[in-house]
Amino acid sequence: MAVLDEVKAIIANQMKTPAEQLTPDTPLEGLGADSLDLIEIIYAIEEKFNIDIPFNANQQTSMPFSTIGQVAEAVDQLVAKPAS
């Protein structure tokens, strides 16, 4: 499965939204994702791809992505360098 589809599946599962309704342009906030949803999504992605996504909930500016497409891009880049 392509990274984008995996990411869609994880987000769809967390947000209880059908994956077919998600596109690369879907904003996470538009799905009603709160901070706990976000860290659960990040955790699920880290587990799935064995990567580390740097994210500190206290630094708004470090919010790594706002759309599903940006999540998938970030994962693509991080998959190249697996977690230590």
Partner 1 sequence: MNRVAVTGLGIVSPVGSDLEAFWSAVVGGRSGIVPLTIIPTGQLKVRLAAQVGDFDPRLHFDDKRLSVLDRFAQFAVVAARAAVRDAQLHFDAELALRTATIIGSGVGGQTTTDDSFRRLYADKVEKVHPMVIPRQMLNAATSQISIEFGLKGPAYAVATACASGSHAIGQAFHMIRAGIVPVAVAGGSEACLTVGTIKAWEALRVLSSDTCRPFARDRSGLVLGEGAAVVVLEAWEHAQSRGAQIHAEMVGFGMSADAADITAPSLDGAARAIAAALADARANPESVDYVNAHGTGTLLNDRTESAALHRVFGTFVRRLAVSSTKAVLGHGLGAAGALECVVTALALARQVIPPTANFTEADPECDLDVVPNEARPGPVELALSNSFAFGGLNAVLALKAVH
18 is a contact residue toward partner 1 (CB under 8 A): no
Among 29, 30, 39, 66, binds partner 1 (CB under 8 A): 39
DSSP string, the chain: --HHHHHHHHHHHHHT--GGG--TT-BTGGGT--HHHHHHHHHHHHHHHT------TT-GGG---SBHHHHHHHHHHHHTS---
Which of 57, 66, 77, 82 contacts partner 1 by CB under 8 A? 57
- Please give the size of the binding site for partner 1, defined by CB under 8 A: 12
Q: Which is nearer to partner 1, 5 or 34 (CB)?
A: 34
List residues binding partner 1 (CB under 8 A): 34-36, 39, 42-43, 55-60
